[in-house]
Amino acid sequence: MSYLADVATLARKDLRLELRARDTLPAMLLFVVSTLVVFHFTLPRDASRLAAFGLLWVALVFTALLGLTRCFAAEREQDVMDGLVLAPSDRSAIWLGKAISMLAFLVAAETVALPAFALFFDPGIDGRTIAGVALADLGICAVGTLLAGMAAASRARELLLPLLFLPLAIPIVIGGVGASVAGGSRYVEFLALYDAIFAIICWASFEYVVTE
């Protein structure tokens, strides 16, 4: 149970840092709304449901990417990572704590993005879309946080994270758009499968991302 306590400690730390610095979340909020406005102009008048939801997911993925780029910024800029890695807690707790705080930011951004989408575009937000978004968020945060940890160790950083993240995000986007557009529960089930598989891999391998 001390594992969960560690995760809670770390997640709380990240939320507190964001509360003080206030740089990531406002940027994400502004970005997602601006993006949706831009998309209004890029979408033709008779655009289909599919096109509209497609753009929603593009907006969400890139907003998430914006947040993920800032994910380990504090640890990297202030060289604090060593302090966390040296602690006796399991290194995967670092990943889980970060992913949880990242999830909080993403959900906060979506509480603005989804109503904005419903406002700007024709198709409404229904339960299926919300389910899709919720499950996709888990996948995005799990995988994204680990990849952000990788990118933090590299020279290229901001350039590298989108390259690493986008191929892995393709199945998520397919699941998300499918959940909104197509019938049945297949897409939601698929997203759950994606989340389960990749969460386990991330949890098991984060140790190796932060150590030599």
Stretch that binds another protein, among 34-42, 56-64, 120-128, 186-194 (CB under 8 A): 186-194
186 binds another protein (CB under 8 A): yes
CB of 47 to another protein, least distance (A): 15
* Integer angstrom CA distances of residue 15 from 100, 128, 149: 9, 29, 18
- Per-residue interface string for the shown chain with another protein, residues 77-116, x marking contact by CB under 8 A: -xxx-xxxxxxxx---------------------------
Stretch that binds another protein, among 107-115, 117-125, 129-137, 202-210 (CB under 8 A): 202-210
Interaction residues for another protein, span 37-76 (CB under 8 A) = 50, 74
CB of 20 to another protein, least distance (A): 4
Task: Give CA–CA dist 62/67, Å, rounded.
Answer: 9
4 binds another protein (CB under 8 A): no
For residues 198 and 143, is the Cβ–Cβ distance under 8 A?
A: yes
Number of H helices, E strands in the chain: 9, 0
Task: Give CA–CA dist 161/95, Å, rounded.
Answer: 16
For residues 73 and 181, is the Cβ–Cβ distance under 8 A?
A: no
Instruction: Return the closest-CA partner of residue 84 out of 149, 158, 16, 143.
Output: 149
CB of 150 to another protein, least distance (A): 5
141 binds another protein (CB under 8 A): no
Rg (Cα) of the chain, in Å, rounded? Answer: 17
1 binds another protein (CB under 8 A): no
Name which of 45 and 155 has its Cβ closer to another protein.
Answer: 155
190 binds another protein (CB under 8 A): yes
